[in-house]
A and B are shown apart, each in its own frame.
Chain A
Amino acid sequence: MNVLELHDVEARYGPVRALHGVSLEVGEGELVAVLGANGAGKTTTLRAVSGTVRRSGDIVFAGKKLSRRPEATARAGIAHVPEGRGTFSELSVWENLRLGAYARRANIKEEAQRVYKFFPRLEARRDQQAGTLSGGEQQMLALGRALMARPKLLLLDEPSLGLAPIVVTQIFEALARMKSDDGMSVLVVEQNASLALAYASRAYVLEVGTVVVEGTSDELRANESVRKSYLGY
């Protein structure tokens, strides 16, 4: 069953149209990647789902039509880790995690323990202001915050951006474990195509606001134009 289905979704920033009818789907427990060059509409696709950009066209989430308001999509079970990570830099690490579980009733301490198991460094930095964390720690916090919501679907925007390769590997490994632990689905936007394809089961390639190629990771790796444009060999 599909957790998420986009049917011919369009989105615009003021007069500028950023998505020209994107259709894609994410299955339950599946990790799907969205690839493409800068300005292809990858970030906008995620924003259309979470409701942080004006969009038209149907989005079906867990069998129901999805609201267009970000508060409502969050409450429905979608956690969006946006560009720039969207942590609360003025608040402490602990407060950030607490906010992650804002929309649900939960034992916050237990949930936080679960996050600390994935990212032990967050526990050590518990009372530190989030803005003072390193880039890698901030990305861990952003993921941890999303995890606190126990989302059905995680939207992840460029998790590798600006991070050291070793940290990137840590983060993707954690992501893979979270996915198998919770049966959570993930839609990830990534510049680093070979990295994304290594972890994703399927992927979509966007160009100027439309899907130009889609398929399993193996199919995409075998696709000549994808290889030339995005994998660089």
Chain B
Amino acid sequence: MFLYAFTWTEFAQQVAAGIREGAIYAGLALAIVIIYRFTRVINFAQGEMATFTTFIAWSLMNHGLSFWTAFPLVLAIAFAGGVAIERVVIRPVENAPVLTIVIITLGLALLLNGLMSVIWGGANRQFDGPFSTRTIDVGSVPVSVQDIGIVAVSVALVVLLALFFRFTKLGLALRAAAVNPESSRLVGIRVGWMLALGWGIAAVLGAVAGMMIAPVVFLDPNMMQTILLYAFAAAVLGGLESPIGAVVGGILLGVTITLLGRYVGFIGSTLKLPAALVLILVLLLARPGGLFGRVAVRRV
């Protein structure tokens, strides 16, 4: 089964690459989970939203801004964009059947994709990331600084988000609006704005994922499409409603497919996606709620 010479060092490198890969899936999966919790809708435009904001970052950097100057600007733009999309596109169909909203997010994805081609052209762009690609030794395993940076940024973001949801009044209001909009209104929470805020946060998560992955791949309008599929898979793996599940699912998926692609000859890089989906199918057959899917406990 192993067609290549196996060394533990290389194995560790592959795991590290897998974790980096997974961190990106996790970021996008988290965005999907946040919107799903609010609206019960899978946002198919999440990938395109991320790519779009990455293009904005690219433009800003092209105009002479450094990555870390552009970074907060892009996050602010992404947040505003996410809020605007909810207000303008999603709000009018709020009470429509789920399928309608799903189709609208698909349409939004196509629209953003077309817009990107019009504004920035369809060609691949080199996106200079903030981290160097040279490798350093982590306990005798050479790992690229870039991989470490990507994972560190993703981890920091997840921790910040968790603190926000857990300890702030606004975070609590967001969770309340997601689980029980009726009662939320009765305590004075402006549920409509909470939804918009959720979209804003999801857009920020996507923007970070986009800016982290763009230096690794190339920037083009379709950059996030495969990644979005993996992110969906990661979200489902984690239970679709659980933020922790999305993160664990993302990392697990990243590591698994990297290892499969490297060590299982016939899978290679072409069969990675189907292989990952087969694995998820098997897992969901065993645990239909996903890894962290919660069964609501209720006494009546």
Which residues on A are within 8 Å of B, measured CB to CB? 50, 52, 69-71, 74-75, 79-80, 82, 86-91, 95, 98-100, 102-103, 129, 131-135, 145, 149
| Contact among B169, B188, B297 with A75 in the assembled complex (CB-CB below 8 Å) | B188
Please tell me if the beta carbons of A71 and B185 are within 8 angstroms of each other in the complex. Answer: yes
For the complex formed, measure the closest distance between the CB of B24 and the CB atoms of chain A, giving whole angstroms.
29
A95, closest chain B residue (CB): B172
Which residues in B have their C-beta under 8 angstroms from that of A133? 299
**Given A52-B186, A74-B187, A87-B183: A99 in contact with B297 (beta carbons within 8 A):** no
Known: A132-B297, A134-B299. A102 touches B173 (CB 8 A): yes
Chain B nearest CB from A145 CB (Å) reads 7
- Min CB distance, A89 to chain B, in Å? 6
* Chain B residues with a Cβ under 8 A of chain A: 169, 172-173, 175-176, 179-180, 182-191, 296-300
What is the CB-to-nearest-CB distance from B71 to chain A, in angstroms, rounded to a whole number?
A: 33
Query: CB-CB < 8 A to A69: which residues of B?
Result: 185
- State in angstroms the CA–CA spacing of A103 and B298 once bound together: 27
Q: CB distance A70 to B186 under 8 Å?
A: yes
Contact call B169/A86, Cβ cutoff below 8 A: no
Selected from A71, A82, A135, the residue in CB contact (under 8 A) with B188 is A71
- The complex places the Cα of A167 from the Cα of B225 at a distance, in Å, of 57
Question: What's the minimum C-beta distance from B211 to chain A, rounded to whole angstroms?
Answer: 33
Which single member of A70, A80, A82, A99 contacts B172 (CB below 8 Å)? Answer: A99
Main secondary structure of the interface of B (DSSP, over half): helix
Report the bound CA distance from A131 to B300 in whole Å: 8
- A102 & B169 in contact (Cβ 8 Å cutoff): yes
Name B299's contact: one of A50, A86, A131 (CB within 8 Å): A131
Chain A's nearest CB lies how many Å from the CB of B300? 8
Determine whether the beta carbon of B185 is less than 8 Å from that of A98: no
18 contacts across the A-B interface (CB closer than 8 A): A52-B185, A71-B188, A71-B190, A79-B186, A82-B183, A88-B176, A90-B179, A90-B296, A91-B179, A95-B175, A99-B189, A102-B169, A103-B188, A129-B297, A131-B298, A132-B299, A133-B299, A145-B187
Q: How far is the CA of A54 from the CA of B218 in the complex (A)?
A: 53
Contact of B185 among A70, A88, A91, A100 (CB under 8 A): A70
Q: Nearest-CB distance from B124 to chain A (Å)? A: 45
Q: Which A residues are in CB contact (< 8 Å) with B175?
A: 91, 95
B122 to A: closest C-beta gap in Å: 45
* Chain B residue with the shortest CB-CB distance to A145: B187
Contacts of B190 in A (CB 8 A): 71
Q: Shortest Cβ distance from B195 into chain A, in angstroms?
A: 13
Residues from chain B with a CB closer than 8 A to the CB of A88 are: 176, 179-180, 183
Bound form: Cα–Cα A126–B139 in Å: 45
B186/A86 in contact, CB under 8 A? yes
A134 to B300, CA, bound (A): 8
What separation, in Å, do the CA atoms of A95 and B184 have in the docked complex?
A: 12
Evaluate whether A99 and B296 lie within 8 angstroms (CB atoms) in the complex, with A52-B182, A88-B179 already known: no
B186 touches A103 (CB 8 A): no
Among candidates B182, B187, B298, B300, residue contacting A99 with C-beta atoms closer than 8 Å: B187
Q: Are B187's CB and A100's CB within 8 A? A: yes
User: Which chain A residues border B184 with CB–CB below 8 Å?
Assistant: 99
For the complex, what is the distance from the CA of A93 to the CA of B251, rounded to whole Å? 33
Q: How far is the CB of B239 from chain A (nearest CB, A)?
A: 14
Residues of A within 8 A of B191 (CB): 71
Are the CB atoms of A99 and B299 closer together than 8 Å? no
Residue of A nearest to B178 (CB): A90
For the complex, give the distance between the alpha carbons of A44 and B226 in Å. 51
User: Which 3 pairs of residues, A with B, have the shortest CB-CB distance?
Assistant: A103-B188, A74-B188, A70-B185
CB contacts (< 8 Å) of B172 on chain A: these are 91, 95, 98-99
Known: A90-B179, A91-B176, A131-B297. 6 other contacts (CB 8 A): A71-B188, A88-B180, A88-B183, A99-B184, A102-B169, A131-B299
